[in-house]
Structure 1
Amino acid sequence: MTALELPLELRRALVGVARTPRLLVASDYDGTMAPIVSDPQKAFPHPESVSAMRGLASLAGTNAAVISGRALRDLAILSRLPSEVQLVGSHGSEFDAGFVNAIDDNAKKLLTVITGELQAIADAHPGVSIETKPASVALHVRNAETAAGDEALAAVRSGAAARDGVQVTEGKSVIELAVIVTDKGVALDILRHQEAATAAVFFGDDVTDEKAFGHLHGPDIGVKIGPGDTLAEFRIDSTEQVALALAFLLEERRQWLSGADAPRIERLTMLASPNAVALLTPDADVTWLCHPEPDSAAVFAHLLGGDQAGHFSVGPTRASLPLSQQYVDGTMTVQTKWASLQVTDYLPHDIG
């Protein structure tokens, strides 16, 4: 598989967001970084996704995170992600190892009670299991017959889920009861604030990820994996495509930060008039222009910000290298020539 198998509009959006000053890349784990499997303890991530997240976390002005419904300890063991990648467990409420000590005694007692109730329901329904976490307990029905699973979920909804102080989160074949507030959207906001991110990208596949999608705004990008209603702007089909998207974003971000896609400064040509200065690329693109004064805000800032920052371009319809570029003698007028096209650039005395 190659990046070309990603939707074109998603690729364009990732190219744009890769050029933000401070980028946060976050993802769910199960069904996103790792495929869904019948045994939750064997849900290992795609090596390509791990490599891409590690690469993103190592770049300047870039942070990577995984926000999962799993307990933080289990997430760390299974994900095999380096310490540079921020891990957030329990649907966004478990940020560090000292988290369990922050739960008060009443919440701990309530957790013990509802854990016992869910264990009794699991024991009565073959294929149903529970997963305990520091501040919640989840009942899984993925390996149960449909009728048994539906009955078990209904028993939880009418019983333990109805208790005061219990927050309910339902996902694919699972219902989770927490004794504290859990919200992936809030967790995403916390990470954004901590890192002063100017844009965020979030990948998710489950109902619980919609809370994170709902907190995206402005230049942010949300990517939904698989079918179902979603608030995300983009959709892909599989966890393998998540790995492709992360690798594509890593490469675009790395190239932009290194300036690999920008012409070297000595190859730029200056246009000038009494009250303005502009820079021209070898392809006759106006890549930098401030207005109305040379020290005013930039109208075209492609030189630093890429396509999203604006440029003025005239060129042949079929991409090709120009044959020459030179000043008209005694002027600041520049002529760029292709085999069948000549572009003349100059700044008039008054460009206002």
Structure 2
Amino acid sequence: MPDDRRPRPDRPHHGGGCPVTAADAAVEAVATTDELLIALDFDGTLSPLVDEPMTARMTPEARVALDGLAALPRTTVALVSGRTLADLRVIAEHDDSSPWWLMGSHGAESWQPGAGAGDGADDADALALRDRLIGEATDAVAALAGVRIEPKQFGLGLHTRTADAATATTAREKVDALVSAEAPEWRRRTGHDILEYSFRHEGKDSAVAHLRERLGASAVLFAGDDVTDEDALRSLGAGDLGVRVGGGETAATLRVDDIPAFVAVLEQIVRLRRAHTG
């Protein structure tokens, strides 16, 4: 950790207003790279976590920052989320004219500006198993207060945000047992008060790698707040910047306390990159 701890304007800060001068160099490096990809988680990174998932919306300040980035030359903004593509478009208030790329379902679904949604088709057997397990999991937790099953494009999610700790544990045990018995090959992911199960094995790391190659990005900024984001953070290389929003173990270069602190980093990149690209 750098010894210089004097507060300075226009610098990313974490707890207590302390500057992170090592991260400043990384921020400047990505801001001045030739072809920049800004790939971001949504929930907890741009939007506060909420009890009703479909009411999530990014903060106005975050939207202004992303619009500012997307308007710059050689700069691409992408949202990389565990949400289904359809739900991500709703909560991100994303329409067909948007310049933002989307990677939904941890990268198994995509939306490209000017081209629309990619082909997310899967075989009938996988979809039939998904539908059956959604029904069985819903029945298994029906009597548990504060628990719900979310149907997903490639599997299902177990939400326990409004359940007490004992009920949440019971729900996880029931659904884990069900999926382990019926679909042991499915990928299991943990998150903030959610368990996700999917017959597709893409992750945010592969989603970022796909975008990097597709766009020819010379550097990537990826930010997230949860366990599933660590796959992408660990995949970043020299010249990239990983940002963790909030607590928890992380492979990120820079940690910020909350969404406003992360937006301040994005605003700094807008200023630096605008000056760099002229």
Q: State the TM-score, normalized to the length of structure 1.
A: 0.70
Shift of 1:99: 3.6
- Structure 2 residue 234 is the aligned partner of structure 1 residue 222: no
Q: How far does residue 117 in structure 1 lie from its aligned partner after superposition?
A: 2.2
- Which residue of 119, 136, 144 corresponds with 1:125? 144
Which digits, 9 at most, give the CA deviation of each residue in 1:228-273, with x for residues without a partner? 1111121111011121111111111111111xxxxxxxxxxxxxxx
8 Å contact from structure 1 (residues 46, 243) kept in 2: no
- Aligned counterpart for 2:40 among listed residues 4, 19, 27: 27
> Secondary structure of the residue that 1:164 maps to in structure 2?
coil
Q: Is 2:197 aligned against 1:177? A: yes
Give the equivalent residue in structure 1 for 2:83: 70
Once residues 200 and 45 of structure 2 are traced to their aligned partners in structure 1, the CA distance between those partners, rounded to angstroms, is: 25
Corresponding residue of 1:8 = 20
Aligned length: 256
Provide the rounded CA distance (Å) in 1 between the counterparts of 2:268 and 2:83. 27
Q: Which runs of 4+ in 1 moved over 6 A?
A: none
Aligned pairs (5 A) from 1:267-306 = none
Selected match of 2:56 from 43, 46, 54:
43
Query: What root-mean-square deviation, in Å, do the aligned CA atoms of Structure 1 and Structure 2 show?
Result: 1.6
Distance in 1 (alpha carbons) for counterparts of 2:12 and 2:202: 35
Contact 1:50 1:81 in 2 (8 A): no
Cα-to-partner distance string for 1:209-240 (whole Å, 9 max, x where unaligned):
01101110010110011111111121111011
Is the CA contact (8 Å cut-off) linking 2:85 and 2:102 kept in structure 1? yes
Query: Among residues 189, 198, 207, which one is paired with 1:187 in the alignment?
Result: 207
- Cα distance in structure 2, aligned partners of 1:71 and 1:253: 31
Question: For the Cα contact (< 8 Å) 2:141–2:174, is it kept in 1?
Answer: no
- More off after superposition, 215-224 vs 129-138: 129-138
Matches within 5 A, 1:51-90: 51-81=64-94, 83-90=98-105
- For structure 2, which runs of at least 5 residues remain unmatched after alignment? 1-8, 14-18, 112-116
SS of structure 1 residue aligned to 2:57? coil
Q: Partner of 1:159: helix, strand, or coil?
A: helix
Aligned partners of 1:137 and 1:178 also within 8 Å = yes
Give the distance between the partners of 1:85 and 1:26, measured in 2 at CA.
10
Match of 1:92 in 2: 107
- After superposition, the Cα gap between the structure-2 partners of 1:223 and 1:129, relative to the gap in structure 1 and judged at 3 Å, is same
Q: Deviations over 1:163-183 (max 9, x none)?
A: 233111111211111111120
CA–CA distance in structure 2, aligned partners of residues 151 and 182 of structure 1:
28
Asked if residue 234 in structure 1 is aligned to residue 247 in structure 2, the reply is no
Corresponding position of 1:158: 177
Higher gyration radius (CA)? 1
Check conservation: 1:117, 1:160, Cα contact below 8 A: no
For residue 11 of structure 1, report the CA deviation from its aligned partner: 3.0
Q: Percent identity?
A: 35
Displacement after TM superposition at 1:63 (Å): 0.7
Counterpart residue type for residue 45 of structure 1: M
Counterpart residue type for residue 160 of structure 1:
V
SS at match of 1:123: coil
Distance in 1 between residues matched to 2:261 and 2:162, nearest whole Å: 26
Are 2:265 and 1:245 aligned? yes
Deviates more, 1:238-247 or 1:74-83: 74-83
Which AA in structure 2 matches 1:89?
Answer: G
Q: CA separation in 2, counterparts of 1:77 and 1:213? A: 26
Residue 110 (structure 1) aligns with: 129
What amino acid does structure 2 have at the position aligned with 1:256? H
Q: Which runs of 5+ in 1 are unaligned?
A: 259-352
Which SS does the other structure have where 1:24 is aligned? strand
Report the residue type matching 2:53 in the other structure: P
Q: Could you say what secondary structure the match of 2:236 adopts?
A: coil
> Residues 36-92 of structure 1, C-alpha deviation per residue, up to 9 Å, x if partnerless?
111212211011111111221221111110101111111111112461011111112
